[in-house]
Amino acid sequence: MSRYFSDRHGFGVVDAPICVREDAPPALRYGVAEIANRAGLSPSSIRTIICSVLFETPDSSNWSEYPNICDEVLRLLQDCRWYKVYDIAETIWRNLDHNYEEQALFESELNRLFLEKGIGWELKSPIGIVFRGEANFTSLTEKAVQVFEASNRENAAAEIREALKDISRRPIPDRTGAIQHAMAAVECAARDLTGESNLTLGRLIPRLNVPRPLDSALEKLWGYASEHGRHIQEGAQYSAAEAELVVSIACAVCVFLVQRDDELR
């Protein structure tokens, strides 16, 4: 049974629009410690993990769990760089791997915090904390990996995973790499579907029999990725929205091509 009245009675909170990417708001800094405590960790255990991530020395004058060590934990979380908060959360989660229920509780509660506070990250087993886009982004990336794995196209699935890793990097996401890997997944699928293993996606598009004008849209997407993903310009920065858009479209194209091929067989 759910722990919360709102869940049991269907009063779920609508997910907040994503407004936090490269930051760790106070609610998250406090929440990491609070959720770890709910998952069965004492303040001293949490402090040990935090100090190991931050290379800090525990305050030897703090010996009582409450309030001394608990306050120290909150201070450490409050004062560290934003991306270290996510490193700490991941490390706490991994340290709970000896107890499935406690680890699952930490994961679900941290993700609930992310959703309700509009934080654009997600704790996903077994990877760790990864980029969370709007619902369509998450759905499309997961669907693409599932479709590739189901059809034994492991190289294409690996490219989508690499795109997610790049867009999830902290403190500076590799959005150029995310675009490149997403389009590489399309290229992998296209090569497999056409049997042309040496051609680039630009030359493969006419052979895919994509309905017009979608073929032109795919060519333009390839041109954009070639310009912005493959030819890195000094000082060029691409927004999270741009990277999310290209990765989403690439995943949608992959799913379409593979599923259409399955239907034609």
Mean per-residue pLDDT of the chain: 91
Task: Give the contacts of 26 (CB within 8 A, at least 6 positions apart).
Answer: 78
- Are 41 and 123 contacting, i.e. CB atoms less than 8 angstroms apart? no
Q: What is the pTM of this model?
A: 0.83
pLDDT value of residue 228: 63
**CA–CA gap between residue 186 and residue 179 (Å, rounded):** 11
Per-residue pLDDT tens for 180-233? 999 999 999 999 999 999 999 999 999 998 888 888 989 998 888 887 655 455
Percentage of the residues of the chain whose pLDDT score is greater than 70: 94
Token digits of residue 117: 């506070």
pLDDT value of residue 23: 97
Closest CA to 169 of 119, 236, 240, 113: 240
Q: How confident is the model at residue 2 (pLDDT cuts 50, 70, 90)?
A: low
**CA–CA gap between residue 24 and residue 82 (Å, rounded):** 5
Mean pLDDT (whole number) for 74-95: 98
Q: Which long-range contacts (CB under 8 A, 24 or more apart) does 253-257 make?
A: 253/186, 253/218, 253/221, 254/144, 254/147, 254/148, 254/156, 254/160, 254/185, 254/186, 254/189, 255/140, 255/143, 255/144, 255/147, 257/186, 257/189, 257/190, 257/193, 257/208, 257/210
- Are 240 and 175 contacting, i.e. CB atoms less than 8 angstroms apart? yes
pLDDT over 70 (residue 243): yes
DSSP-derived secondary structure for 33-68: HHHHHHTT--HHHHHHHHHHHHT----TT--SIIII
Per-residue pLDDT tens for 8-53? 777 766 778 999 999 999 999 999 999 999 999 999 999 999 999 9
